[in-house]
């Protein structure tokens, strides 16, 4: 089999699992792990899929005038995915353009349902090369209409467009160092810059992160710069050593490890036992297990045996702030999901308040860009909002943090642009 062909065939299957079967990107990739892809083919396959998911609307708009019928009417869908992958490699990725055409044709020929259309694949992709066609420039095409309109309503047209543009950009590798005193040392070893918030941004690191210095020793963990902020907001102005902290929706454990590294005694609660297993693996690798108790529980009903001084609720949400890392969400999330999630968040918030001692601190966070999951939530009954100020990122008028995928994390060398979209609010129990 020609080099790269196995990766392309696997990529088309993965796209089918996501776009036609509704699988998450993690589940779709996991289904291919039993195959015989080499590490280089596996990496190439992943890059093809991620880029295609990010730019799918633009790709289909580019293909539309070249096809005998609209892209969504091309049958079988596997054929359209082969075409999309060809367009991606030609117009979005560096590489041998003519090889991309040949491999796309061979991928079509290998499947009995798409083999009759191999000549069409060849003609369409060669026409793109011959005529020097470019990818349709409108990034709005990649965003579901309901999602884009919600951003326009919440933040205005300019910010909505900036979100759409930012969602197309592959994010840098961000990490949190276990021992804050070692940040400069690990920044040098990992060729990273230290953002004003303390996160290390490794803009040049690609490939297998487990092979990087310090990973196996548990000196650091991967955590987006924005995802590291809720735990910092909880700890700001407090000494958490030996403090009892409840971390709700804790897995895979980034915030739990931050709190444990500060000396807190953390009860990490998550509904998913599978995700808790991953959290426990991360705790073991970083040597922080002794400070953490894991609990499988529903965040809307579970209660600790005694009230605590600190609760961190990273609530279940639409995760639309993570589109850069999870472009499958562009194709999986539905407008109808938002109301149900907002109601669930309200229940979780009120339950979190019940866990707190009077005077205790609650931080609420969601990695969502929909205001219904953030700003629209009123101050929980029995609490007072504590404004977030004096921090590298500016708060909104109410004293909350609203972070966008294009937000500037503050690195002087230009590597600070971009982070997951988040909403963070802080409260004190009356």
Catalytic status, residue 367 = yes
pLDDT at 414 over 90: no
Q: Please count the other Cβ atoms lying within 10 Å of the Cβ belonging to residue 331.
A: 16
Query: In the prediction, which pLDDT does 98 show?
Result: 82
Q: Is residue 163 part of a domain?
A: no
Listed in sequence order, the residues at least 6 apart from 120 whose beta carbon sits closer than 8 Å to its beta carbon are 68
Q: Is residue 324 part of a domain?
A: yes
Q: Which has the minimum average pLDDT: 304-313, 364-373, 409-418?
A: 409-418
- CA–CA gap between residue 36 and residue 6 (Å, rounded): 9
Confidence at 4, pLDDT banded by 50, 70, 90: confident
Name beta bridge partners: 403.
Answer: 422
Query: In the prediction, which pLDDT does 263 show?
Result: 97
Listed in sequence order, the residues at least 6 apart from 193 whose beta carbon sits closer than 8 Å to its beta carbon are 187, 200, 201, 203, 411, 412, 413, 415, 416
Helix or strand run (H / E) with residue 248: strand 244-248
Q: Are residues 249 and 383 in the same domain?
A: yes
Catalytic residue among 56, 249, 317, 367: 367
Q: Is residue 148 part of a domain?
A: no
Q: Is residue 250 part of a domain?
A: yes
Q: Tell me the two tokens of residue 136.
A: 């349709």
Backbone angles phi, psi at 129, to 5 degrees: -70, -45
Tens digits of residue pLDDT in 129-151: 999 999 999 999 999 999 999 99
pTM higher than 0.75: yes
Q: Is residue 130 part of a domain?
A: yes
Q: Are residues 310 and 408 in the same domain?
A: yes
Contact 165, 324 (CB under 8 A): no
CATH of the domain at 40: 1.10.940.10
Question: Of 222, 294, 292, 304, nearest to 260 (Cα)?
Answer: 292
Tell me the residue range of the domain where 267 lies. Answer: 225-429
Query: In the prediction, which pLDDT does 181 show?
Result: 97
Confidence at 242, pLDDT banded by 50, 70, 90: very high
Domain count, the chain: 2
pLDDT at 328 over 80: yes
Query: In the prediction, which pLDDT does 40 show?
Result: 86
Tens digits of residue pLDDT in 275-296: 999 999 999 999 999 999 999 9
- The whole-number average pLDDT for the span 217-240 is 97
CATH of the domain at 344: 3.40.50.150
Q: What is the mean pLDDT of the chain?
A: 95
Q: Is residue 18 part of a domain?
A: yes
Q: Please count the other Cβ atoms lying within 10 Å of the Cβ belonging to residue 99.
A: 13
Radius of gyration of the chain (CA): 23
Q: Is residue 208 part of a domain?
A: no
Q: Is residue 287 part of a domain?
A: yes
pLDDT at 34 over 70: no
Helix, strand, or coil here: 207? coil
């Amino acid at each position: 089999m020609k080099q790269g062909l196995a990766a392309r065939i696997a990529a088309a299957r993965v796209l089918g699992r996501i776009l036609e079967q509704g699988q998450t990107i993690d589940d779709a990739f996991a289904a291919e792990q039993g195959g015989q892809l080499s590490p280089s083919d596996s990496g190439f396959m992943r890059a093809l899929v991620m880029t295609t998911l990010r730019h799918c609307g633009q790709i289909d708009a580019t293909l539309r005038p070249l096809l005998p019928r609209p892209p969504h009417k091309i049958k079988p869908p596997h054929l359209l995915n082969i075409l999309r992958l060809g367009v991606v490699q030609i117009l979005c990725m560096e590489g041998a353009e003519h090889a991309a055409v040949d491999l796309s044709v061979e991928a079509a020929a290998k499947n009995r349902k798409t083999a009759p259309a191999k000549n069409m694949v060849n003609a369409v992709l060669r026409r793109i090369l011959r005529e020097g066609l470019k990818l349709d420039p409108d990034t709005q095409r990649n965003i579901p209409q309901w999602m884009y309109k919600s951003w326009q309503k919440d933040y205005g047209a300019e910010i909505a467009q900036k979100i759409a543009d930012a969602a197309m950009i592959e994010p840098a590798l961000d990490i949190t160092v276990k021992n804050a005193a070692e940040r400069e040392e690990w920044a040098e070893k990992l060729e990273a810059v230290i953002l004003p918030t303390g996160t290390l941004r490794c803009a040049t690191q690609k490939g297998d992160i487990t092979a990087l210095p310090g990973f196996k020793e548990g000196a650091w963990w991967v955590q987006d710069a924005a995802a590291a902020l809720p735990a910092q907001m909880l700890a700001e102005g407090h000494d958490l050593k030996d403090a009892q902290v409840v971390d709700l929706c804790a897995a895979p454990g980034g915030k739990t490890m931050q709190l444990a590294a500060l000396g807190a005694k953390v009860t990490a609660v998550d509904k998913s036992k599978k995700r808790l297993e991953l959290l426990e693996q991360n705790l073991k690798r970083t040597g922080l297990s002794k400070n953490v108790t894991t609990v499988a529980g529903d965040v809307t009903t579970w209660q600790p045996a005694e009230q605590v001084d600190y609760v961190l609720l990273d609530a279940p949400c639409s995760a639309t702030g993570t589109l850069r890392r999870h472009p499958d969400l562009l194709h999986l999330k539905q407008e109808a999901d938002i109301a149900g999630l907002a109601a669930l968040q309200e229940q979780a918030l009120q339950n979190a308040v019940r866990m707190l001692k009077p005077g205790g601190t609650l931080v609420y966070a969601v990695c969502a860009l929909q205001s219904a999951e953030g700003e629209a939530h009123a101050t929980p009954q029995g609490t007072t909002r504590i404004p977030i100020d004096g921090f590298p990122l500016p708060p909104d008028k109410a004293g909350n943090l609203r972070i966008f995928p294009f937000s500037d994390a503050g690195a002087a060398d230009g590597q600070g642009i971009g982070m997951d979209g988040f909403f963070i609010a802080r409260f004190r129990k009356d």
